[in-house]
């Protein structure tokens, strides 16, 4: 009986992982420079925007894209952890941390959860820590810098609200495309 339960649990876990890998394989990777060159009309009308180049690249996945989930916090990481413990379904969490350089609002454990739960990436307008651990994860992470001090744990913030980071207004449900050239925000999903 116990062996049957263990086998059922293992099969469920394998189905979950297969679903995550299937989502990742189905994602189309778009080169940001090529998108900008091919779509000047979208840039002019504001449907396609580039974030100012202020973010450092972390994580093993340098290229990532997906629908955006927005979060606004300040020196508090509770809501970030809560989001990343949910199934990501190829989404990108974009966090307006107020640009704070006084503490890290994202660390290694939540990033591992994000990787295991199928998030495509995380963009943080603030600091991260546990950089070596994050760099070992197969997920894309962008942040302003690293900082050794941890954040508060009060659970204060706003989910699914428009945010402005790196000179660009970003809304929940828009699409983010990131590679080594930069980060683009699009009102709609772009085709390759």
Dihedral (C-alpha) 85, 136, 130, 74: value to the nearest 10 degrees? -40
According to the annotation, is 130 in a ligand binding site? yes
Please state the length of the chain.
192
Whether residue 67 is annotated as binding a ligand: the answer is no
Give CA–CA dist 72/95, Å, rounded: 6
Closest CA to 49 of 100, 106, 115, 94: 94
DSSP designation for 14: H
Largest CA distance in the chain: 64
Is residue 109 part of an annotated ligand binding site?
A: yes
How far, in Å, CA of 170 to CA of 40, rounded? 19
Neighbours of 76 (CB within 10 A): 18
Please give the annotated binding residues, written as ranges.
107-110, 129-130
Please give the annotated binding residues for substrate, written as ranges.
107-110, 129
Please give the annotated binding residues for Mg(2+), written as ranges.
130
């Amino acid at each position: 009986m116990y062996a049957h339960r263990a086998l059922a649990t293992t099969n469920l876990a394998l189905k979950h992982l297969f679903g995550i890998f299937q989502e990742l394989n189905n994602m189309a990777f778009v080169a940001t420079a090529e998108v900008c060159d091919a779509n000047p009309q979208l840039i002019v009308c504001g449907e396609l925007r580039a974030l100012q180049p202020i973010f450092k690249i972390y994580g093993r996945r340098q290229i990532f894209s997906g629908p955006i989930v927005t979060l606004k916090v300040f020196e508090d990481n509770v809501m970030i952890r809560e989001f990343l413990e949910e199934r990501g379904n190829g989404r990108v969490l974009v966090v307006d941390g107020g640009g704070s350089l006084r503490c890290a609002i994202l660390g290694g454990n939540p990033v591992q959860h994000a990787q295991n739960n199928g998030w495509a990436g995380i963009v943080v307008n603030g600091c991260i820590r546990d950089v070596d651990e994050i760099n070992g994860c197969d997920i894309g992470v962008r942040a302003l810098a690293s900082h050794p001090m941890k954040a508060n744990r009060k659970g204060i913030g706003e989910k699914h609200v428009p945010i402005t980071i790196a000179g660009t207004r970003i809304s929940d449900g828009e699409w983010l495309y990131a590679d080594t050239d930069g980060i683009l925000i699009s009102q709609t999903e772009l085709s390759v």
